C-alpha cells in the first residue's frame, strides 16, 4: 500500500466512523427505535395512538422524540382538519429506508438470544 492509498484508506475509515455516528445519533435514546418501529408496522398513527402503542412512554418524551425525528426528516407531521384536531405522524420516504437497518439489528438480536442468552439459562 503506497502513501496515497493509505491516506485514502484512512479517509474512508473516518468517513465510515462519522456515518455510524450520524445514524446512531438520530436513533439514540430509549424510545426512537420503538416509535419508528411502531410507525413502520402501523403506517399512520396519531399522537394518542402512539402514546398507547409505545409501551410506557410519557407524553413529554413522545413529544420530544417526535420533534427530533421530524427535524431529521424521518417522520412527517400532518394536522388534520377534524374536530377536535388530530395529528397524524408517518414515516417519510427517507424514514422508511431505515427498514433494512432495523431488520439487521433485529436479526442479530434474535441470533444473539439463541446463541448466548438462551444457553446461559440452562
Contact residues toward DNA (CB under 7 A) are 28-31, 46-48, 56-61, 63-64, 67, 77, 83-87
What length is written for the chain? 122
Pairwise CA distance, residues 95 & 92, whole Å: 5
- Is the CB of 57 or the CB of 98 nearer to DNA? 57
26 binds, among DNA, a copy of itself, none (CB under 5 to 8 A by kind): a copy of itself
- Which of a copy of itself, DNA, none is residue 98 near (CB under 5 to 8 Å by kind)? a copy of itself
Among 7, 8, 18, 67, which residue sits at the site for a copy of itself (rule: CB under 8 A)? 18
Q: b or e along 35-71 (b: 16 or more beta carbons within 10 Å of the residue's beta carbon)?
A: bbbbbeeeeebbbebbeebbeebeeebbeebbebbee
CA distance 71 to 6: 37
Instruction: Using the structure block, give the residue that is written with the C-alpha cell 438470544.
Output: 113
Residues in the site for a copy of itself, rule: CB under 8 A?
Answer: 13, 15-24, 26, 28, 33-34, 37, 41, 72-73, 94, 97-98, 100-102, 104-113, 115-117
Amino acid at each position: 500500500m503506497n502513501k496515497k492509498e493509505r491516506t485514502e484508506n484512512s479517509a474512508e475509515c473516518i468517513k465510515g466512523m462519522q456515518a455510524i455516528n450520524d445514524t446512531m445519533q438520530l436513533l439514540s435514546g430509549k424510545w426512537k427505535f420503538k416509535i419508528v418501529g411502531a410507525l413502520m408496522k402501523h403506517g399512520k398513527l396519531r399522537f394518542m395512538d402512539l402514546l398507547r402503542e409505545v409501551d410506557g412512554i410519557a407524553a413529554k418524551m413522545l413529544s420530544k422524540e417526535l420533534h427530533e425525528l421530524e427535524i431529521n426528516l424521518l417522520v412527517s407531521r400532518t394536522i388534520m382538519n377534524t374536530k377536535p384536531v388530530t395529528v397524524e405522524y408517518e414515516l417519510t420516504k427517507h424514514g422508511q429506508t431505515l427498514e433494512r437497518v432495523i431488520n439487521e439489528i433485529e436479526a442479530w438480536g434474535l441470533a444473539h438470544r439463541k446463541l448466548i442468552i438462551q444457553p446461559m439459562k440452562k
